[in-house]
């Protein structure tokens, strides 16, 4: 039972983090419009899928670059250890 509670909490935290990052990065936008005659409030959620794709692509490229740099450093250190 405790593991299920921890898993649900973790999933909720991840969703909240994703939503927060999404609003920060401009992936999501909320707008509202009130009609004074009817007192209705229209709330709209806009999702910028192009921005999400662009940011995802940039993150993947940066991760690949950093992984390559780290791999090169590890290989270099391994070569140094072999020489010793």
Domain ranges of the chain: 1-47, 48-84
pTM of the model: 0.65
Digitized pLDDT (tens) for each residue of the chain, 84 residues in all: 688 899 999 999 999 999 999 999 999 999 999 988 888 999 999 999 999 999 999 999 999 999 999 999 999 888 888 887
Measured CA distances, 71 to 8, 44, 83 (Å)? 35, 46, 19
- d(Cα 16, Cα 24) in Å, to the nearest integer? 12
């Amino acid at each position: 039972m405790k593991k299920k509670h921890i898993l649900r909490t973790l999933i909720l935290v991840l969703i909240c983090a994703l939503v927060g990052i999404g609003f920060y990065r401009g992936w999501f936008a909320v707008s509202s419009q009130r009609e004074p005659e009817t007192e209705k409030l229209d709330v709209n959620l806009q999702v910028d899928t192009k921005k999400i794709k662009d940011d995802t692509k940039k993150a993947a490229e940066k991760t690949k670059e950093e992984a390559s740099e780290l791999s090169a450093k590890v290989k270099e250190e391994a070569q140094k250890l072999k020489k010793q």
